[in-house]
């Protein structure tokens, strides 16, 4: 049985960038015949947080709050209408879900999300809660996250795939999560960086075991082993991805806990900050 996504969630706002992201999500959901959930986050206290300090008097404050509520309502309605227009005729089932963050808190909201794949813009869309960045969605939801750069105008996502492979647990996990993409792709490249420096770890033929594994899924993958040659690992990965003309980078998100925070590894952090094509991450 081929791996499939049945439920996809996309985090949007009412901005043009949010509409572009929703369009990418609709096309992916149609391609994979998945149900699509658009998640729009609201806080009942947002209007008070935006209130300027020079407003005085109960009537003036109440008036401002009402105007803020009306504007927020217009944004929600506009985003919902545009999402409905985008999904109309796409052949998918969908829903527009307004999440009241005050009821549970951001972390619990994300952990309560039941889907196979989350899609988020990077950097975070301005209209979303500050804690709903792609990184936080990845950490708090436990889901694989497709990070799409704001302004990405590519016609396809996942036709030409590069897998950043280092044999880690995170890399193995993301390959498994990416199988619906990988099995549908036109080409897949397994990329290792500086594998020759550690033959005991990578073996005599780095990437060959993963290539054999993918072949059993009827995926014909190429293996590219390169040296960083003075560049960082992240720079090398991005350079190779660009040269391959890839429209998706599949990479494990190395992270480690420290107190209540999660610290991404240096390569992961650099890739998140510098990638100009969609990236699928899980950890």
CATH of the domain at 57: 3.40.50.620
Higher-pLDDT residue of 58, 274: 274
Residue 46 has pLDDT above 90, yes or no: no
199 in the same domain as 130: no
Across residues 175-197, what is the average pLDDT? 96
Q: What integer best gives the mean pLDDT of the chain?
A: 85
Q: What pLDDT score was predicted for residue 245? A: 97
177 in the same domain as 230: yes
Across residues 272-277, what is the average pLDDT? 90
Q: What pLDDT score was predicted for residue 261? A: 47
92 in the same domain as 41: yes
Residue 103 has pLDDT above 80, yes or no: no
166 in the same domain as 131: no
In angstroms, the CA 228 to CA 231 distance is: 5
218 in the same domain as 102: no
Q: What values do phi and psi take at 198, rounded to 5?
A: -135, 70
Would you give the distance in Å from CA 62 to the centre of its chain? 39
Q: Which residue has the tokens 């999904």?
A: 87
109 in the same domain as 19: yes
136 in the same domain as 257: no
197 in the same domain as 236: yes
Q: How many Å from the N-terminal Cα to the C-terminal Cα in the chain?
A: 24
Tell me which residue range forms the domain holding 114.
Answer: 7-149
Each residue's pLDDT tens digit, 199-211: 888 888 999 999 9
Higher-pLDDT residue of 106, 151: 151
pTM higher than 0.75: yes
Most confident of 50-54, 98-102, 185-189: 185-189
Alpha carbon separation from 119 to 122, 133, 275 (Å, rounded): 10, 11, 16
């Amino acid at each position: 049985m081929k791996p499939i996504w049945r439920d996809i969630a996309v985090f949007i706002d009412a901005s043009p960038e949010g509409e572009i992201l929703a369009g990418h999500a609709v096309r992916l959901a149609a391609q994979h015949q998945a149900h699509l959930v658009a998640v729009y986050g609201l806080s009942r206290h947002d209007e008070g947080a935006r209130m300027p300090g020079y407003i005085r008097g109960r009537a003036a404050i109440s008036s401002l709050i009402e105007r803020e509520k009306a504007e927020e309502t217009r944004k929600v309605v506009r985003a919902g209408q545009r999402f409905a227009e985008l999904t109309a005729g796409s052949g998918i089932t969908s829903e527009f879900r307004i999440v009241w963050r005050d009821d549970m808190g951001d972390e619990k909201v994300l952990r309560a999300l039941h889907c196979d794949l989350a899609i988020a813009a990077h950097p975070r869309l301005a209209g979303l809660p500050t804690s709903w960045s792609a990184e936080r969605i990845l950490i708090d939801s436990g889901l694989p996250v497709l990070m799409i750069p704001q302004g990405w105008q590519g016609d396809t996502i996942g036709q030409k795939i590069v897998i950043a492979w280092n044999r880690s647990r995170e890399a193995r996990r993301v390959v498994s999560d990416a199988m619906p993409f990988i099995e549908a792709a036109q080409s897949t490249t397994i990329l290792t960086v500086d594998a020759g420096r550690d033959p005991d770890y990578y073996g005599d033929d780095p990437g060959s075991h993963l290539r054999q594994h993918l072949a059993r899924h009827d995926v014909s993958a190429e293996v590219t082993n390169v040296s960083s040659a003075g560049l960082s690992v992240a720079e090398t990965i991005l350079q190779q991805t660009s040269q391959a003309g890839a429209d998706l980078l599949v990479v494990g998100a190395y992270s480690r806990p420290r107190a209540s925070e999660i610290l991404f590894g240096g390569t992961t952090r650099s890739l998140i900050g510098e990638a100009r094509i969609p990236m699928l991450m899980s950890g």
